[in-house]
Amino acid sequence: MINIVRSGAFLQQCWSVHPLCVAVKRMGDDRTMVLTCSSCRSAHHLTIDLVVPKDPVGQGTVTPGTAGEEVSAETLLSACVMTHRAALTLREMDVFQDVVVLRCADCRRHYALHVSGFVTHHKH
């Protein structure tokens, strides 16, 4: 049986209890990020409104792109998920602001995800 909960509080609780067990599973074309927890067997679906890249030392936002070519932050995040998904970790979360921050250890980039909806699927 699967319980479905529509609140970011469940992801926050899951991450605070076992942070090393929460991993990025995939990012869909429908602007949905799926995080899974191997400990509590939950799948957390985040509907993303906006992705904001942060610089490697956390000093603010970065303008993506090189030589005048703009690359969207969502495209950068998608590339991270596709090429080195295991290097992405959940670093911060604010359920009052609906923001989740992921960090990629390989490219040292932080992504602030502004989330419009949280849905948790929990298996018993």
How confident is the model over 69-96, as a mean pLDDT?
A: 89
CA distance 115 to 124: 26
Phi then psi for residue 101, to 5 deg, are -110, 125
pLDDT one-digit tens code per residue, 10-39: 999 999 999 999 999 999 889 999 999 999
Q: Please compute, for residue 45, the number of CA atoms within 13 A of its CA located in the half-sphere on the CB side.
A: 13
CA distance 113 to 21: 20
CA distance 77 to 54: 11
pLDDT one-digit tens code per residue, 34-55: 999 999 899 999 999 999 987 6
Domain that holds residue 20: 2-123
CA distance 103 to 76: 12
Number of folded domains that form the chain? 1
Q: Which residue has the higher pLDDT, 122 or 119?
A: 119
Beta bridge partners, 110, equal 54, 103
Q: What percent of the chain has pLDDT over 70?
A: 86
Nearest to 104 by CA among 87, 123, 121, 81: 87
